[in-house]
Copies of this chain bind each other. A is one copy, B any other.
């Protein structure tokens, strides 16, 4: 089986773009780092699958974690830290029973994606210089209309991801 690392980012419901308003050490000219990843990475819905998860509690969602080509290659080869250019996408949908499935199977057992929650789309973008203040990762969150999250909730991302520093701040492991 291939190597295997992880994300489960966005387990903090309100996580999103973590950012620092201070200039990062990677900017010799003192230019301020961007506060947000404000653009949805194009084509993310065509990216390959890293893993899936179900979060209970206040989140109560079903999620898929996708990666761009750089991410998938790094996961499969067990490369740590992830190279610059890695982008990991986390899609979440509300966790709902499938009445139509359950009717066919004759018992309540099937849970499927429902309407998107406020934390529908999240991204982690690796740029070790630009996002040096947050472990080399920029964080982003968008709702179903593509609206980026405010800065305040996004600042909650990194403190949680810090716990998983040994895997370059990425919770999700690759599901073979």
A positions within 8 Å CB-CB of B: 8, 11-12, 45-49, 51-57, 59, 62-64, 66, 91, 93, 95, 98, 100-101, 103-105, 107-113, 116, 160, 163-164, 171-173, 175-176
Find out whether the CB atom of B104 lies under 8 angstroms from the CB atom of A164. Answer: yes
B110, A11: Cβ atoms closer than 8 Å: yes
Q: How many copies does the complex hold?
A: 2
For the complex formed, measure the closest distance between the CB of A61 and the CB atoms of chain B, giving whole angstroms: 10
Dominant SS among interface residues on chain A:
mixed
Q: Using known A-B contacts A160-B105, A175-B93, determine if residue A53 contacts B49 with beta carbons closer than 8 Å.
A: no
- Which one of A48, A57, A101, A111 has the highest number of Cβ atoms from chain B below 10 Å of its Cβ? A101
Tell me whether B55 and A109 are in contact (CB under 8 A): yes
